[in-house]
Amino acid sequence: MIDHDLARLYKVPTKALNQAVRRNERRFPQDFVFRLTLREKNEVVTNCDHLKLLKFSPVLPYAFTEHGALMLANVLHSTEAVEVSLSIVRTFIRLREILSTNKALMHKLAALERKIDSHDEAIRDIVTAIRQMMSPPSKPARRIGFHP
């Protein structure tokens, strides 16, 4: 999540949120928070209409991972921060459930696809055998018995 969005959730100015992060650098390693590059910032502004004001900002925004967003609650110390951190935890739990459900569904679809492929081959073999049985023999069968 972008610092601007988290600041709105935590009901603090973006500047105050970023100051709290800078004051507590040890709590925010690179896998919790990182600064966007200019190219990433432009892409985010292009894709997210609610960030159009960010386009004119000379400062590159911070991006927070799930853990960074939760760490903000420990740094900001407000009732909003506690409630938002609980909402964030619940949201990420729900996202994981959705992803795991989708993974299971993808595995089932792949298995079904393999099964259908094998059925297709079996059906093709059956049709070929039926066609062979339906086609007349190429030369007449030799009569059985004594021929004068």
- Any domain includes 13: yes
Write down the pLDDT at residue 137: 65
- Any domain includes 24: yes
- Any domain includes 132: no
- Alpha-carbon distance of 28 to 73, in angstroms, equals 12
- Any domain includes 145: no
Q: For residue 22, what are its two tokens?
A: 């800078």
Question: pLDDT tens across 104-137, in order?
Answer: 777 777 777 777 777 777 777 887 887 777 776 6
What are 79-88's contacts with CB under 8 Å, separation 24+?
A: 80/9, 80/10, 80/11, 81/10, 84/9, 84/10, 87/9
Domain total in the chain: 1
Cα–Cα distance list, 70 to 14, 23, 64, 123 (Å): 16, 16, 9, 56
- Any domain includes 116: no
* Domain span holding position 46: 3-102
- Any domain includes 129: no
